[in-house]
Amino acid sequence: MTMVKNNSLPKTPSGVSGLDEITTGGFPKGRPVLICGSAGCGKTLFAMQFLVKGITEYNEPGVFMSFEESASDLGKNVRSLGFDLEQLKSENKLRIDHVHIERSEIEETGEYDLEGLFIRLGYAIDAIGAKRVVLDTIESLFIGMDNLSILRSEIRRLFRFLKDKGVTAVITGERGENSLTRQGLEEYVSDCVILLDFRVIDQIATRRLRVVKYRGSTHGTNEYPFIIDESGISVIPVTSLKLDYESPTDVISYGLSDLDSLFTLNGLYRGSSTLITGTAGTSKTILASYFAMASYKRNEPVLYFSFEESPEQLLRNMDSIGLNLRPAVEAGLLHIHASRPSLQGLEMHLLLLHKLMSELRPKTVIIDPISSLITIGSSSEVRGMLVRLMDTLKTNQINALFTSLTHNNDNVHSDPTVDAVSSLADNWINVRNENRKGTRERSLLVVKARGMGHFNGKKEFAISNKGFKFKEDNL
Amino acid sequence: MKNKDTVRVISEDKLVLQLYVSGMSPKSMEAIENIKRLSEEHLAGAFELEIIDIYKHPEVAAEQHIIFSPSLIKQLPLPRKTLIGTLADTEKVVKALGIQFNGS
């Protein structure tokens, strides 16, 4: 709650990792929040996490009123996320009330109200001193009922009741055809509305979240991807709102003295990002591996995303040029993560990267090649993702290196993958192969290096079993 | 209350009703009047009626799955029925309770 500024709305942490950054502090304290989305988008889980984290992390007891699932079903469904509802119930921190309505038994015989619901809710809140309440999904009440106007006015009264009780309430609602919720709950809950979405694009499923409305508070307006895994829901606020990261001035070695010598400061700035472009077989992976090795030599952890080679294959291939990465792996400093780019959506890769970054705290991140990711998304999506990725790496002052496969030896600028990354990268090295008199000549060119001078000519090099070396008779 | 229920299962055909009201609210009072009038006119004593104030017994509201007030629950004979509202719609009430109109 340190983020709450003067004069701004008091807020309560949502318990959903990443969401509080988007909403600058969490949910509006003591007010209802509407979470809406279509079936299976994670509403119940979202609500449950708000409640459980409220108890375990902020010591705020909570009441879960379920209009759909029974208490035992709920318990089973969230057990896989490590939420032990029975334990919390026995500690008197959590109450689950299953509102079970048998439609076939009900006859409407005149005017009625929802006082029974109010009393149950009030009783449960008072019994454990609840600060948080979930109503999941209150719209179930409307199913099969004739007199909807009574229900509407009662729901309105219910939200007032919740405000009077001073509890922060999460109300879930099923997405309607023309409105956010079937019964137009968004008209009653005017303070904070969050929309969850579950989409399949090109056979890849992505969950997204958007803050539709947040009265009296600034919030990020983008769609943010979120994942549900064994630790619950996490939202990654991938675009930080400002460009205010620090720029370190110390210089690190690339890991190859030859390469370092091309830069006036004899290396690269710490926390800068480097792009290596080239056609197939121009030794991009080799250059990336040297960069990984340099991090190991500095005794700094490095995370290597390999989208084309398995860790074992990478190690073997680097062995063949005398670059032994195994000690780095054994020391736990080099973590190679290999996966197929098409296995998950772009955002999922990004989330995974975030997760691994927060677990391993690497000082260097290598993505080899980033062009594999680019091929699985539309270009605007990819660019957005790369901006967010660069942002994250910059904010954490992580040295980044991306390789990118290009198809045109001469005009790399026209390559869409390069176009997406090159303007974001601080340093850009292009490697190429040329057929000259029947032999293949390898060369590299530093295209740019932000904030320092660099050698402008082409440098020829060779790769042997002793590794990378500039040719003596360089032009 | 629960003990009484188990005893009553033996006596079949007899109407066993519970009316859940919220204090002295106008709707609650109206429901009480309506059920009393109906039972006098059509039932002639062949029923059991219990009136429960959910303000005084909030825990019972959860146990009996009460959310609407007033709610009249027909426990017996089966099938169980929940009549919500003021019971002003006599025809619906009579039909749901399975009562034959006297002299009609």
DSSP result, A391-422: HHHHHTT-EEEEEEE-S-SS-GGG-HHHHHHH
Question: How high is the pLDDT of residue A343?
Answer: 65
Cα distance between residue B80 and residue A250, in whole Å: 79
- Which one of B25, B68, B93 makes the best mutation probe of the A interface by having the most chain A beta carbons within 10 Å? B68
- pLDDT digit string, tens, across residues A207-216: 888 888 888 7
Judgement on whether residues A182 and A258 belong to the same structural domain of the protein: no
Buried-exposed string B65-102: b where 16+ CB fall within 10 A, e elsewhere: bbbbbbbbbbbbeeeebbbbbbbebbebbbebbebeee
Count of CB atoms situated within 10 Å of the CB of A190: 13
Cα distance between residue B59 and residue A162, in whole Å: 19
Cα distance between residue A61 and residue A90, in whole Å: 12
Q: Does residue A245 lie in a domain region?
A: no
Question: How high is the pLDDT of residue B3?
Answer: 47
Question: How high is the pLDDT of residue A202?
Answer: 62
Out of B54, B67, B83, name the one closest to residue A109 (CB): B83
Average pLDDT score over residue span A181-198: 81
CB atoms B65 and A99 under 8 Å:
yes
Count of CB atoms situated within 10 Å of the CB of A182: 18
The domain boundary residue, chosen from A235, A267, A301: A235
The packing angle between helices A148-165 and A115-128, to 10°, is 20
User: Is A426:A248 a contact under the CB 8 Å cutoff?
Assistant: no
User: Is A253:A294 a contact under the CB 8 Å cutoff?
Assistant: yes
The length of chain A in residues reads 475
Out of B58, B62, B84, name the one closest to residue A106 (CB): B84
Judgement on whether residues A165 and A293 belong to the same structural domain of the protein: no
List, edge to edge, every strand of the sheet that includes A439-449.
A334-338, A302-306, A364-368, A399-405, A273-278, A427-436, A439-449, A459-464, A467-470
Alpha-carbon separation of residue A260 from A247, A300, A303, A367, A449 (angstroms): 20, 19, 22, 21, 12
| Total domains, chain A | 2
Judgement on whether residues A301 and A421 belong to the same structural domain of the protein: yes
- Which one of B67, B78, B82, B94 makes the best mutation probe of the A interface by having the most chain A beta carbons within 10 Å? B67
Q: How high does pLDDT run on average in chain A?
A: 84
Chain A positions touching B80 (Cβ under 8 A) are 105
CB atoms B67 and A101 under 8 Å:
yes
Residue of A68, A353, A52, A348 lying closest to A228 (CA atoms): A348
User: Is A263:A451 a contact under the CB 8 Å cutoff?
Assistant: no
Averaging pLDDT over each range in A22-26, A36-40, A272-276, A421-425, which range is the top one?
A272-276
The parent domain of residue A136 ranges over: 11-235
B74: closest chain A residue by CA = A105
Residues of A at the B interface (Cβ-Cβ below 8 Å)? 97, 99-102, 105-117, 119-120, 122-124, 141
Q: Does residue A244 lie in a domain region?
A: no
CATH architecture of the domain with range B2-97:
3-Layer(aba) Sandwich (3.40)
Residue by residue, DSSP assigns A72-141 as HHHHHHHHTTT--HHHHHHTTSEEEEE----GGGEEE-S--B-HHHHHHHHHHHHHHT-SEEEEETGGGG
Judgement on whether residues A56 and A136 belong to the same structural domain of the protein: yes
Choose the catalytic residue: A308, A309, A381, A460. Answer: A308
Chain A positions touching B96 (Cβ under 8 A) are 107, 109
Cα distance between residue A75 and residue B18, in whole Å: 32
Judgement on whether residues A224 and A277 belong to the same structural domain of the protein: no
Does the predicted model carry a pTM greater than 0.90? Answer: no
- pLDDT digit string, tens, across residues B59-84: 888 888 899 999 999 888 888 889 99
Judgement on whether residues A371 and A258 belong to the same structural domain of the protein: yes
Residues of B at the A interface (Cβ-Cβ below 8 Å)? 20, 22, 25, 27, 30-31, 34, 54-55, 58-59, 61-62, 65-72, 79-89, 92-93, 96
A106: closest chain B residue by CA = B82
Judgement on whether residues A461 and A344 belong to the same structural domain of the protein: yes
A65: closest chain B residue by CA = B62
User: Is A116:B20 a contact under the CB 8 Å cutoff?
Assistant: yes
Q: Does residue A6 lie in a domain region?
A: no
CB atoms A115 and B71 under 8 Å:
no
Q: What is the CATH number of the domain that holds A445?
A: 3.40.50.300
Cα distance between residue B19 and residue A386, in whole Å: 64
Q: Kindly report the CA angle at A423 between A243 and A450, in degrees rounded to 5?
A: 75
- pLDDT digit string, tens, across residues A323-379: 999 999 999 999 999 887 766 666 677 777 877 887 888 999 999 888 777 766 666
What are the boundaries of each domain within chain B?
A: 2-97
User: Is A71:A100 a contact under the CB 8 Å cutoff?
Assistant: no
The domain boundary residue, chosen from A176, A205, A235: A235
Q: Kindly report the CA angle at A268 between A266 and A274, in degrees rounded to 5?
A: 140
Chain B positions touching A101 (Cβ under 8 A) are 65, 67
Inter-chain contacts counted by CB atoms under 8 A, chains A and B: 99
CB atoms B67 and A99 under 8 Å:
yes
Cα distance between residue A23 and residue A3, in whole Å: 10
Out of A112, A117, A120, name the one closest to residue B85 (CB): A112
Cα distance between residue A193 and residue A173, in whole Å: 10
Give the β-pairing of A302-306 and A364-368: parallel
Q: Does residue A475 lie in a domain region?
A: no
Buried-exposed string A32-54: b where 16+ CB fall within 10 A, e elsewhere: bbbbbbeeebbbbbbbbbbbbbb
Residue of B53, B31, B87 lying closest to A116 (CA atoms): B53
Judgement on whether residues A231 and A255 belong to the same structural domain of the protein: no
Cβ neighbours of residue A67 closer than 8 Å, sequence gap 6 or more = A99, A101, A135, A136, A137, A138, A139, A140, A141
CB atoms A112 and B84 under 8 Å:
yes
Cα distance between residue A170 and residue A44, in whole Å: 10
Query: What are the φ and ψ backbone dihedral angles of B21, each rounded to 5 degrees?
Result: -125, 160
- pLDDT over 90 (residue A415): no
Chain B positions touching A114 (Cβ under 8 A) are 67-69
CB atoms A115 and B83 under 8 Å:
no
pLDDT band for position A420 (cuts 50, 70, 90) = low
pLDDT band for position A380 (cuts 50, 70, 90) = low
Chain B positions touching A67 (Cβ under 8 A) are none
Judgement on whether residues A169 and A304 belong to the same structural domain of the protein: no
Q: Does residue A357 lie in a domain region?
A: yes
CB atoms A113 and B22 under 8 Å:
yes
More confidently predicted of B100 and B38 = B38
Q: Is A434 a catalytic residue?
A: no
Cα distance between residue A457 and residue A455, in whole Å: 6
Cα distance between residue A126 and residue A374, in whole Å: 54
Query: What are the φ and ψ backbone dihedral angles of A388, each rounded to 5 degrees?
Result: -65, -40
pLDDT band for position A241 (cuts 50, 70, 90) = very low
Q: Is A308 a catalytic residue?
A: yes
Chain A positions touching B70 (Cβ under 8 A) are 112
Judgement on whether residues A89 and A207 belong to the same structural domain of the protein: yes
CB atoms A108 and B55 under 8 Å:
no
Bridge partners (DSSP) listed for residue A170: A33, A134
pLDDT band for position A17 (cuts 50, 70, 90) = confident
CA distance A98 to chain B (A): 8
- pLDDT over 70 (residue A62): yes
